[in-house]
Each structure stands twice: as C-alpha cells, then as structure tokens.
Amino acid sequence: EAGVAQSPRYKIIEKRQSVAFWCNPISGHATLYWYQQILGQGPKLLIQFQNNGVVDDSQLPKDRFSAERLKGVDSTLKIQPAKLEDSAVYLCASSSSWGGGKNGLYEQYFGPGTRLTVT
Amino acid sequence: KQEVTQIPAALSVPEGENLVLNCSFTDSAIYNLQWFRQDPGKGLTSLLLIQSSQREQTSGRLNASLDKSSGRSTLYIAASQPGDSATYLCAVRKAAGNKLTFGGGTRVLVKP
C-alpha cells in the first residue's frame, strides 16, 4: 500500500513569512497527526484529527499555526508568521481508527517529513 | 504529564557487538509502546510495538522488553551491523487511538 505522502520535502523562508505543508495519509486511515521535531529532540504532537474533526490541539501555537482537514482525507498545516524557533521537521502520520495495521492496535505510519528552515 | 527519557543520547559500538537501548517513562498507565528507527533526513519507521499486557516482542535481531510497573522498556539489537546506524526513538501511547509521546532518541553508530 502507498505510504503517507508529504510535500514539500524542504522549505527555506525568512522570519515573518508564511508557509504551508501538505499531507496525504494512507488510504482509509481516519486519524491524522502532525508532529514537530526540533533537531536533536523527539517528535511533539501539534494536532490530531479524527476524520475532519480535531481531537487534540493542546500543543498547537494557535496564534501562528493552523491546520485543516476539510474532507477528512488530505491535511494542510500553515504557519503565519514564521519565527526562527519554528525551524524543524514537520512530520505527518496516520493510523486506522479501528486499531488495524501491520502490528495492530493503532500503529502510526509516518511520512518522510518536511524540513523547514526559517532564516 | 507523561515524560519519556532515553539514555544515553548517543552510543558508538564496534560491529558485531550487541546493542542495548533504554527507555523510561513516568506514567505507567500506558496502552502500548512503540520503538522507531529514524535515518538522517527521513521519517520514522516502526520497529516493534508492545501492548501493555505483553512483556516482550521480537522481530529478527530485535527484541524489546517492557516492564510497565517500573516504567521501562529496553530494545536489544543482536550482532549489530553498520546498517543499524540510526536514531532509535521510543514512544508511549496513553489510550487507544491517542497520540504518541516520544523520548529524545538514542543516536547509534556502529563502526565497521
């Protein structure tokens, strides 16, 4: 099966500019996650969608970050305006809502990520 | 609030040596625990998933153990190879369908 797709793979912007990332999850996966991974750290959840509804956005900096999943499939994460500390890899993951997957039980499958550099 | 710690942050071993990677978590009320591998510039690849009711899980040269009561998991990689060089991350899930909370990872270098 096709994996999680993300674009672009790399993006360099200046601070105060805006940027958007796109994610296409594995077909049929109802749950979609956006994680931020700062260099040298583990990923941190920004937002979790179940179909097109938000399940958890407690760690999303809502003054500058926004995300949507309008039709319950693709998702877009936007940053406006960007700050230097937003430089990170943004990972998208998806999982089946019924606990399926190769190892079962809500295993998350990750995309290759988008590396953002803010100068 | 769940906190996940991986020590050491970096590890270098000669080829053929067994690898032992540690993961500890503060809240023992977990649903399951996953070990991932991350190569430079790449996404995460799932290696093993252990349910909270399990004590260990094996796949090829990889074996992961879980001691939920003490908040620890260990990933063993037998007979390490240069191709095992990567960052290894552990993550815990509090409830079904919930987010993963990650440790900071252990960066492994296997020298030929």
Instruction: Mark yes or no for CB contact B49/A108 under 8 Å.
Output: no
* DSSP-derived 3-state class of residue A86: helix
Any idea which residue has 């000669």 for tokens? B14
Q: pLDDT band for position A81 (50/70/90)?
A: very high
Residue A106 has its nearest CB partner, among B4, B45, B93, at B93
Residue A113 has its nearest CB partner, among B43, B96, B99, at B43
Q: Is B44 on the interface with A (CB under 8 A)?
A: yes
Instruction: Mark yes or no for CB contact A110/B44 under 8 Å.
Output: yes
pLDDT digits (tens, 9 = 90+) for B40-87: 888 899 999 999 999 999 999 999 999 999 999 999 999 999 999 999
Q: Is A58 exposed, middle or buried (0-12, 13-18, 19+ CB in 10 A)?
A: exposed
Q: Is A59 on the interface with B (CB under 8 A)?
A: no
A33 pLDDT higher than 80: yes
Q: Is A53 on the interface with B (CB under 8 A)?
A: no
What is the rounded CA–CA span in Å between residue B91 and residue B45? 12
